[in-house]
């Protein structure tokens, strides 16, 4: 908990867990083993999510898919999550076999209490073929999950990292002081980076219709690889989430706290990072067992006092969606509204669409974006072959505001699409699993307009909208083309912690005034429980 508070507040790093202590702790746990119990949460990971989504919608067409991570307790009322995530049906009687292939590292089970412990790791080594720079990521961490009775669950995890990155991403971290999607970074051995982050939640399934969760993590709203409403691109943040599910209708309310990583953003000599509050509404309904339609509103509320600290704003308490978009006085708020649609065309084949609207009444810009895509599960009758194609487009100045303190961002990273605004992007994904083996490939092609040295033309959402900004055109500014290719062949050991050995590559080419390229190949031994994005800039 101390690490979580320090990491978020920017007041310093907690003491490092020494390597010897960490190893001794793990060795001590080797002697403990009790019967297995059900996994307590569905990790926010695209590969895991698509497996669950395919089975869940086949079994229950009214299951709302756009709010992630999925509610594990809700899913277990109509599907067997463990069998869906399992790589095979083999059971192992010996302790080492169970721990390697089936169970969490440490498990305690009784009629009224469950507890599990898993180490979290990422030991990756590679080389950038362009700069001939040796690359590595060294991650050590742990995750604890628990269940009290049948209604209260909790989870806590932390990651301690050191990394050496390709020059392109080393420059990005130098500018933002943030490792993408993870945490604040500081130099390590002059050329590397040291960063840490944590997550956790307490969840109460108060009744069949009411779920309450208080946590420090991420949320994702949408059915695509990207989200134009709320994605998991940025760093973890504290939030309170309340979900009501009744028959074919689901209403979710999220109140969150975000931070601007700029001491001087308020124009005062205040040595504290100013915070801002967010209010999210999501109202979803399932129609005709094939169509899901959702209304979304997300509002950033500027509410620091003169010292940059939190000050209660009554707008946080508003229970009515879209009310902020309709206000004539939008001073100190930045509302974004949108829709999400999912259409089950046929079994295993789904079409999805998003629209986002950002109307800053303090400027003349009318900004919007949209997404459209198709997902194909068990494609062409081949079990566990997954195909996805997606298109995203966002107009300049979307998510921005004339007051930069309330941009749609957290930790200098967008809350929606990582490219910000003023872009279009095409993504194609293929993933195939046979037993413990998994092959994954992804390609993105993007085109966007960047700002010049003097003028904000609408891509960087952290910049204030200029007073003279008017109706904008897509790609205004210096046109840049971004292409990425990513592939990996992995062997997974354990579905509880997604531990795997992978060999892969990542290629990136940015074609602008000065071209930049990345060509990396790597080997890794890791637990893959979260989404990390490097296919942007």
**DSSP per-residue codes, 459-471:** S-TTSPPPTT--S
Q: What token pair was written down for 234?
A: 């940025």
Tokens of 109: 């089970």
Decide if pLDDT at 417 tops 70.
Answer: yes
The answer to whether the CB of 493 falls within 8 A of the CB of 101 is yes
pLDDT band at 28 (very low <50, low <70, confident <90, very high): very low
| Residues comprising the chain, all counted | 537
What confidence category does residue 310 fall into, taking pLDDT thresholds of 50, 70 and 90?
Answer: low
What does DSSP say about strands 367-376 and 385-394: parallel, antiparallel, or unpaired?
Answer: antiparallel
Domain spanning 2-527: which CATH class is it, in words? Answer: mainly beta
372 burial (CB, 10 Å; 0-12 / 13-18 / 19+) is middle
pLDDT digits (tens, 9 = 90+) for 185-217: 999 988 999 999 999 999 999 998 999 999 999
3-state SS, 489-518, equals EEEEEECCCCEEEEEEEEEEEEECCCCEEE
Residues 44-86 have pLDDT tens digits of: 999 999 999 999 999 999 999 999 999 888 898 899 999 999 9
What digits encode the pLDDT tens for the residues 319-370? 777 777 777 566 788 999 999 999 999 999 999 999 999 876 556 667 899 9
Q: Do you find a cis peptide bond into 69, omega within 30 degrees of 0?
A: yes
H-only helix segments in 30-181? 46-59, 72-75, 81-85, 95-101, 167-176
Average pLDDT of the chain is 87
Query: Using CA atoms, how far apart are residues 169 and 535, in angstroms rounded to an integer?
Result: 11
pTM of the predicted structure, to 2 decimals? 0.90
- The predicted pLDDT at position 341 comes to 98
Q: What is the rounded distance in angstroms from the CA atom of residue 421 to the CA atom of residue 418? A: 9
Residue 404 has pLDDT above 50, yes or no: yes
Q: What is the residue extent of each domain of the chain?
A: 2-527
- What pLDDT score does 359 carry? 73
Pairing type for strands 478-494 and 249-259 reads unpaired
| Contacts with 500 (C-beta within 8 Å, 6 or more apart), sequence order | 438, 490, 491, 492, 493, 525, 526, 527, 528
Mean pLDDT of 441-447: 97
């Amino acid at each position: 908990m101390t690490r979580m508070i320090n990491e978020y507040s920017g007041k310093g790093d907690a003491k490092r867990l020494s390597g010897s202590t960490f190893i001794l702790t793990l060795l001590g746990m080797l002697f403990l083993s009790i019967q297995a119990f059900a996994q307590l949460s569905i990790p926010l990971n695209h590969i895991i999510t698509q497996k669950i989504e395919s089975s869940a919608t086949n079994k229950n067409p009214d299951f709302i898919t756009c709010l992630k991570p999925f509610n594990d307790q809700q899913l277990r009322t109509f599907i067997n999550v463990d069998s869906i995530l399992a790589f095979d049906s083999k059971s192992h009687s010996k302790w080492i076999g169970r721990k390697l292939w089936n169970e969490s590292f440490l498990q305690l089970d009784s009629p009224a209490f469950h507890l599990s412990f898993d180490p979290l790791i990422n030991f990756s080594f590679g080389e950038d073929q362009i700069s001939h720079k040796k690359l590595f990521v060294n991650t050590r961490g742990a995750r604890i999950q628990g269940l009290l009775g049948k209604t209260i669950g909790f989870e806590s995890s932390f990651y301690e990292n050191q990394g050496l990155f390709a020059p392109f991403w080393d420059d990005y971290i130098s500018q933002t002081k943030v490792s993408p999607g993870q945490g604040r970074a500081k130099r390590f051995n002059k050329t590397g980076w040291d960063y840490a982050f944590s997550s956790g939640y307490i969840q109460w399934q108060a009744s069949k219709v009411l779920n309450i969760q208080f946590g420090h993590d991420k949320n994702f709203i949408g059915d695509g690889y990207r989200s134009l409403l709320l994605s998991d691109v940025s760093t973890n943040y504290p939030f309170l989430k309340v979900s009501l599910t009744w028959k074919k209708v689901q209403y979710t309310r999220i109140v969150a706290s975000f931070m601007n990583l700029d001491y001087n953003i308020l124009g005062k000599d205040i040595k504290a990072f100013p915070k801002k509050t967010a209010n999210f509404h999501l109202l979803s309904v399932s129609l005709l067992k094939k169509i899901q339609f959702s209304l979304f509103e997300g509002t950033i509320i500027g509410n620091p006092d003169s010292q940059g600290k939190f000050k209660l704003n009554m707008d946080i308490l508003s229970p009515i969606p879209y009310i902020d978009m309709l206000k004539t006085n939008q001073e100190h708020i930045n509302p974004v509204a949108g829709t999400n649609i999912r259409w089950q065309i046929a079994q295993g084949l789904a079409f999805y669409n998003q629209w986002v609207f950002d109307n800053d009444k303090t400027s003349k810009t009318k900004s919007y974006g949209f997404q459209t895509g198709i997902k194909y599960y068990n494609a062409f009758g081949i079990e566990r072959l997954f195909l996805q194609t997606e298109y995203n487009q966002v107009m300049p100045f979307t998510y921005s505001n004339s007051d930069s303190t309330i941009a749609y961002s957290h930790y200098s990273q967008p809350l929606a699409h990582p490219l910000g605004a003023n872009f279009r992007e095409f993504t194609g994904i293929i993933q195939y699993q046979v037993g413990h083996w998994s092959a994954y490939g992804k390609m993105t092609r993007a085109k966007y307009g960047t700002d010049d040295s003097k003028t904000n033309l609408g891509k960087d959402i952290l910049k204030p909208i200029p007073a003279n900004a008017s109706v904008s055109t897509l790609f205004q500014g210096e046109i840049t083309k971004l292409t990425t290719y990513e592939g990996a062949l992995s062997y997974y050991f354990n579905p509880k912690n997604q531990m795997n050995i992978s060999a892969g590559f990542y290629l990136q080419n940015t074609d602008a005034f000065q071209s930049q390229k990345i060509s990396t190949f790597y080997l890794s031994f890791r637990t893959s429980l979260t989404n990390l994005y490097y296919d942007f800039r």
